[in-house]
Chains A and B, each alone.
Chain A
Amino acid sequence: MQKRVTFRGWWLPALLIAPQVLVSAVFFFYPAGQAIWQSLFIPDPFGLSSQFVGLGNFEFLLSDRFYRASFGTTAVFSILVTLCSMIPALFLAVIADRLIKGSGVYRTMLIWPYAVAPAIAGVLWLFMFNTRVGVVSWYLGNLGYDWNHVLNGGEAMGLVVVASAWGRISYNFLFFFAALQAVPRSVLEAAAIDGARFWKRFWTIVLPLLSPTTFFLLVVNVVYSFFETFGVIHTITSGGPQQSTTVLVYKVFSDGFVGQDLGSSSAQSVILLFVVGMLTIIQFKFVEKRVHY
């Protein structure tokens, strides 16, 4: 799509795009290029020179047990976060949609957690499950369950998943709720007159009509759990115990800044770049076509 009416001249538009070009070049393209460039080198321990290794860093990474484990961790983590944030959100949206009055009040209440930063969400959940002072862990202890996410990898994973999914429930709720409101009432009424009960209507009419929203949210939530959950993991587990919650983005951080392994960290960045690229392509391809079954 293009405008028929345009203005003439080239120096004015050049001036207008200059700020964006400058900021993108300095803080985006140069660093992204550097990441790709550095991924082909191994710096010596003193950082004085570096040696070209081609795809060596990648070969090393892909054969590295810890990196492969981190891939698995990320997959498990993002699937769980996506499910734990979408299913409760859909449930709440379906209920809210049945109310004629009062759904606005509930919506206002449910929006809150979205505004809470992932890192703060991490602190809140850490507080509830803290092994010394946590309320929930204390009651669990009373019930005979010894909660200790500092030592138990599975519990650590559970905690970061719930803390990451919590704020996203609000987000998903808003999208599901908007989509449900857009389902034509006449179709539902016709089905109701034909004797279809609520759940029957939900499975056969509502859910198929929600598929574009559902698919969109699937992709967006996977991207979220890949990149925006760093704060949760850093505050609650710092990637532990025994790297059981070290997702890919956390590993870029810990190898690059804590471990000072620039070559490997850059190679990991490049791999992540591919992952984001794939996800973005999937998003554009399918969301644009509007999934319908």
Chain B
Amino acid sequence: MAQEVHGMVEKRGAGLWLTHVFMILGVLIIFFPIWLAFVASTVTQPEIVRPPMPLWPGDQMWENYSKALFSGVNVPVATMLVNSLVMAIGIAVGKIVISLLSAFAIVYFRFPGRNLFFWMIFLTLMLPVEVRIVPTYEVVAGFGMLNSYGGLIFPLIASATATFLFRQFFLTIPDELAEAARVDGASPMRFFWDIVVPMSRTNVAALFVILFIYGWNQYLWPLLITTDPEMNTIVMGIKQMFPSGDDVAEWPVIMATSILAMIPPVIVVVSMQRLFIRGLVDSEK
């Protein structure tokens, strides 16, 4: 009986096939831009500039990718990949570390100005970097941090989403644990390292996935502060590979670069899917 009712709601013979057909069609349409980019990164320039280009991969994959990675257009793509990696990991680790510390302070201490501090960081939730770009640029320039990893990383750490997340989580840690630690004479930092940090492992991992992608995919900020091609990140550097004026773009190399630019975040998202979805739901709700 249960089986029959189940069937009534979920699927019905031909309907099931139709459902799969719709689903596959949807996936194909959504995938098409990525597939086309991949094909373009495996064929020669003449095959692309005389449309229509082929829809099946060619045999130039090795040539195009090694050309992109080791010579690129302005700067080898390998350099840009390293810059993106440093920036993404720097933002993720930096934000997680400062948020763990400050959330611990807010939740486990009563100190003067605690509420003021709380509202202060609440404000930072509201203002994305896009809104304050000009003055932030001036600050970073004033510190001489243009074209540096510090300049790429710090302004993007200055938001309190992660602090809020950790605060919510710390509030769910049973009071008995802190009580026991206090009775045993453990110092607050001891409690932090031995109890709080290990318990936050999953949250930290989920947040890392989200922040890594956030950092990797930044565009406007690196565009403003990295004038030296050696410091370009791959996501912003790809636009610099298009020639100005009427020259024809080197499409196979550009498309190989765009595939290279999406590989790290895609690996992170697909391989850590569970954590990723958890992080997404946590950080937005």
With known contacts A14-B111, A88-B26, A95-B26, A27–B139 Cβ distance under 8 A: yes
A112 near B34: Cβ-Cβ < 8 Å:
yes
Inter-chain contacts of A17 with B (CB < 8 A)? 101-102, 105-106, 117
Tell me, yes or no, whether A208 is within 8 Å of chain B by CB.
Answer: no
In the complex, A249 Cα to B280 Cα: how many Å? 24
A227 near B128: Cβ-Cβ < 8 Å:
yes
Inter-chain contacts of A30 with B (CB < 8 A)? 135, 139
| Closest A residue, CB atoms, query B168 | A1
Inter-chain contacts of B99 with A (CB < 8 A)? 20
A124 near B34: Cβ-Cβ < 8 Å:
yes
In the complex, A193 Cα to B9 Cα: how many Å? 9
Inter-chain contacts of A16 with B (CB < 8 A)? 101-102, 104-105, 109
B37 near A127: Cβ-Cβ < 8 Å:
yes
Cβ-defined partner of B134 (8 Å) among A91, A139, A269: A269
Point out which of A32, A192, A277 has the most chain B C-beta atoms below 10 A from its C-beta: A32
B117 near A3: Cβ-Cβ < 8 Å:
no
Cβ-defined partner of A117 (8 Å) among B53, B130, B265, B284: B265
Cβ-defined partner of A28 (8 Å) among B11, B138, B159: B159
B178 near A111: Cβ-Cβ < 8 Å:
no
Cβ-defined partner of B219 (8 Å) among A21, A117, A134, A171: A117
A132 near B40: Cβ-Cβ < 8 Å:
no
Cβ-defined partner of B30 (8 Å) among A169, A174, A193, A249: A169
A120 near B284: Cβ-Cβ < 8 Å:
no
A277 near B158: Cβ-Cβ < 8 Å:
no
Total contacts A to B, CB within 8 angstroms? Answer: 308
B188 near A116: Cβ-Cβ < 8 Å:
no
CB-contacts of B14-31 with A (<8 A): 15-16, 19-20, 22-23, 26-27, 30-31
Tell me, yes or no, whether B175 is within 8 Å of chain A by CB.
Answer: yes
- The smallest beta-carbon distance between A17 and chain B, in angstroms, is 4
With known contacts A96-B23, A265-B134, A20–B102 Cβ distance under 8 A: yes
B238 near A119: Cβ-Cβ < 8 Å:
yes
A257 near B224: Cβ-Cβ < 8 Å:
yes
Inter-chain contacts of A287 with B (CB < 8 A)? 285
Q: Which of B63-71, B200-208, B248-256 contacts A (4 or more CB under 8 A)?
A: B248-256
Tell me, yes or no, whether B49 is within 8 Å of chain A by CB.
Answer: yes
Contact with B along A80-102 (1 / 0, CB 8 A): 00000000100110011011101
In the complex, A32 Cα to B8 Cα: how many Å? 57
Contact with A along B162-181 (1 / 0, CB 8 A): 01000000010001001100
Contact with A along B248-281 (1 / 0, CB 8 A): 1001001100100110011011100100110011
Interface size on A, residues (CB 8 A): 101
Tell me, yes or no, whether A138 is within 8 Å of chain B by CB.
Answer: yes
Inter-chain contacts of A228 with B (CB < 8 A)? 128, 130
Cβ-defined partner of A127 (8 Å) among B163, B255, B285: B255
- The smallest beta-carbon distance between A185 and chain B, in angstroms, is 7
Inter-chain contacts of A171 with B (CB < 8 A)? 280
A116 near B265: Cβ-Cβ < 8 Å:
yes
With known contacts A6-B108, A192-B8, A24–B120 Cβ distance under 8 A: yes
Cβ-defined partner of A32 (8 Å) among B125, B127, B191, B262: B127
- The smallest beta-carbon distance between A91 and chain B, in angstroms, is 8
- The smallest beta-carbon distance between A190 and chain B, in angstroms, is 9
- The smallest beta-carbon distance between B188 and chain A, in angstroms, is 4
CB-contacts of B133-165 with A (<8 A): 133-140, 154-155, 157-160, 163
Seen from chain B, the residues whose Cβ lies within 8 Å of a Cβ on chain A are 5-6, 8-11, 15-16, 19-20, 22-23, 26-27, 30-31, 33-34, 36-37, 40, 48-49, 51-53, 55, 97-99, 101-102, 104-112, 114, 117, 120-121, 123-128, 130-140, 154-155, 157-160, 163, 171, 175, 178-179, 182, 188-189, 191, 213, 216-220, 223-224, 235-236, 238-239, 248, 251, 254-255, 258, 261-262, 265-266, 268-270, 273, 276-277, 280-281, 284-285
Seen from chain A, the residues whose Cβ lies within 8 Å of a Cβ on chain B are 1, 3-10, 12-14, 16-17, 19-21, 23-24, 26-35, 38, 88, 91-92, 95-96, 98-100, 102, 106-121, 123-125, 127-128, 132-135, 138-139, 166, 169-171, 174-175, 178, 185, 188-189, 192-193, 216, 220, 227-228, 230-231, 234-235, 249, 252-253, 256-257, 262, 265-266, 269, 272-273, 276-277, 280, 287
